Amino acid sequence: MAGTRDKIILIVGGAGYLGSVLTHRLLARSRRVRVLDNMLYGGQSLLGAWHHPSLEVMVGDIRHDRDVSRAVEGVSSVVHLAAIVGDPACASDPQLATKVNRDGAYRVCAHAVDAGVERFVFASTCSNYGRMENSDGWVDEESSLNPVSHYAKLKVELETYLLRLDSEVMQPTCLRFATAFGLSPRPRFDLTVNQFARDLALGNSLEIYGKQFWRPYCHTIDIARAIELTLEAPVESVGHKAFNVGSNDENYRKQDLVEKLINLLPESESLISYVQKNEDPRDYRVRFDRFEAAVGFQSRVTVEAGLREIISAVRSGVIKDPYDHRYSNS
Ligand SMILES: NC(=O)c1ccc[n+]([C@@H]2O[C@H](COP(=O)([O-])OP(=O)(O)OC[C@H]3O[C@@H](n4cnc5c(N)ncnc54)[C@H](O)[C@@H]3O)[C@@H](O)[C@H]2O)c1
């Protein structure tokens, strides 16, 4: 009989910003990985592991039954990351977002149940909290969900379905990630920390709106570790549960991020301007104690370290054009 480590982990969306970090991490830790991804942003992120004997890459789409049913064959765990990601991307094509983020996720889940998959980790988001009632407050998993975008509403719908899923075998876990930052084999520069650091490091102007709004942040590597810990945890600790993934100490307002950046790049202060915009009303400061208690997770990479990482990467020239559209989902 195959041991836990011989079982196949399916990463749906495994070529993406978070998925590629997870894929490489699990391979380095001797796990067998299958990726299903339609390569919306290309699949270069996986080339470094292309010949790895424990990696199988399936180019396919979660909107198609045939692709999904092939992908779940012989799999013990599914990590479902594939989506049209972020409020702007979902707002620009809401129908596509619904087809992928809702219908596609239901499809992956249904096929996984049929295939006898035991673990299903669903990538959710702290955006589900929307706007806190009290701007000095905190939210945790007991707080009400208040999604303010199509993107977050679809995440909440899927969470609700998964947490009530009546299956003798499959144990879903919903991980509500903080906003990610840091590098990845598929870099993204449309995320706050990465965007701010890129713009100022390259001497470009930076317009900031909603400077007082709180948001939690978590590094790509920490998110990959969180998923791995979830896969390895006793199922009683994580099955049919939702967890916030991040760190109590890494909640910041945008103005706090700017202060950190000015400390690192004092010459950039004059490049920053604050503007009024009512587009994004999200404001949430999040507690992460439940996940720490369940699996012992603590994030290790601070936002400050992430800012340094992005500054050095974009200044070094290793990323030819950090403004290329392939590094942005919107
Ligand atoms: N990055 C963050 O800050 C963050 C925060 C909270 C939650 N999340 C969630 O984590 C997951 C991964 O996000 P990411 O930042 O890596 O985004 P990403 O856009 O880099 O990755 C998504 C991946 O899904 C794939 N995909 C899209 N549509 C597909 C389809 N129809 N069939 C198959 N594959 C498809 C894309 O090709 C891409 O590789 C998403 O579910 C997202 O909602 C991300």
- Ligand 1 centroid – CA 192 distance (Å): 16
pLDDT band at 5 (very low <50, low <70, confident <90, very high): low
With a 6 Å cutoff on the Cβ, whether 63 touches ligand 1 is yes
Per-residue pLDDT, 4: 62
With a 6 Å cutoff on the Cβ, whether 187 touches ligand 1 is no
Tens of pLDDT, residues 53-97: 999 999 999 999 999 999 999 999 999 999 999 999 999 999 999
With a 6 Å cutoff on the Cβ, whether 14 touches ligand 1 is no
With a 6 Å cutoff on the Cβ, whether 180 touches ligand 1 is yes
**Residues 125-135, mean pLDDT to the nearest whole number:** 88
The percentage of the chain sitting over the pLDDT mark of 90, rounded to a whole number, equals: 90
* Domain boundaries of the chain, sorted by first residue: 4-180+218-247, 182-216+249-285+301-327
- Ligand 1 centroid – CA 85 distance (Å): 5
**Would you give the distance in Å from CA 275 to the centre of its chain?**
28
Per-residue pLDDT, 1: 42
With a 6 Å cutoff on the Cβ, whether 191 touches ligand 1 is yes
- Residue 4: CB atoms within 10 A of its CB come to 10
Does domain 4-180+218-247 fall under CATH 3.40.50.720? My reply is yes
Tokens 């317009």 belong to residue: 207
Q: Range with the lowest mean pLDDT among 42-51, 66-75, 271-280?
A: 271-280
Per-residue pLDDT, 136: 80
Nearest partner of 63 among 37, 92, 89, judged by Cα: 37
With a 6 Å cutoff on the Cβ, whether 210 touches ligand 1 is no
Contacts of 56 (CB under 8 A, 6+ apart): 8, 33, 34, 35
Per-residue pLDDT, 68: 98
Nearest partner of 233 among 293, 192, 183, 189, judged by Cα: 293
Tens of pLDDT, residues 203-224: 999 999 888 889 999 999 999 9
Q: Closest ligand 1 atom, CA of 63?
A: 31
Tens of pLDDT, residues 279-315: 667 788 999 999 999 999 999 999 999 999 999 999 9
pLDDT band at 318 (very low <50, low <70, confident <90, very high): very high
pLDDT band at 115 (very low <50, low <70, confident <90, very high): very high
Tens of pLDDT, residues 242-260: 999 999 999 999 999 999 9
pLDDT band at 30 (very low <50, low <70, confident <90, very high): very high
Mean of per-residue pLDDT scores for the chain: 95
Which superfamily, per CATH, for 182-216+249-285+301-327? UDP-galactose 4-epimerase, domain 1 (3.90.25.10)
Per-residue pLDDT, 81: 98
4-180+218-247 and 182-216+249-285+301-327 share one CATH topology? Answer: no
CA distances from 325 to 38, 187, 328 (A): 18, 11, 5
